[in-house]
Amino acid sequence: KGATFYGVAAALARITKAILNNENAILPLSVYLDGHYGMNDIYIGAPAVVNRQGVRHIVEMNLNDKEKEQMKNSADTLKKVLDDAMKQID
C-alpha cells in the first residue's frame, strides 16, 4: 500500500478547510447517529454539513430497502465488534 497516508491526509486537509473557511460543505464523515436512518448511539459514515461549529447537521440520503438493510447490518457489526472489544478490556 505505502501511500495510503496521503489519502487520509487529503481528507483531513479537506475537513480542516471546511471548518476554517466556515464552508457549510457536505462531506462524508463518521458521525454520531441519534435517530438518523432509524439508528441510535453509533458513529458511522454518512454525509454531513461541516462548518466552523463542526458538524452542522447530517444529510439523510433516501435509501432503498436493500441499502437500509445493509446500513443496519454494518451498524450491528460495528456495535458487536465494539462490545466484544469492551469485554476484553473489562
Chain segment 4-25, per-residue pLDDT in tens: 888 999 999 999 999 999 999 9
> Residues 77-87: pLDDT tens digits?
999 999 999 99
**Which strand (E) or helix (H) includes residue 84?**
helix 65-89
Show me where the domains of the chain are located.
Answer: 4-89
Return the pLDDT at 2. 66
> Stretch 15-40: mean pLDDT, rounded?
97
Q: How many helices (H) and strands (E) does the chain have?
A: 2, 3
Q: Are 15 and 27 in contact (CB under 8 A)?
A: yes
For residue 17, the cross-strand partners are none
Strands 40-51 and 54-58: antiparallel
User: What CATH number should be reported for the domain whose range is 4-89?
Assistant: 3.90.110.10
Please give the mean pLDDT across all residues of the chain: 94
Q: Does the structure show a pLDDT above 60 at 59?
A: yes
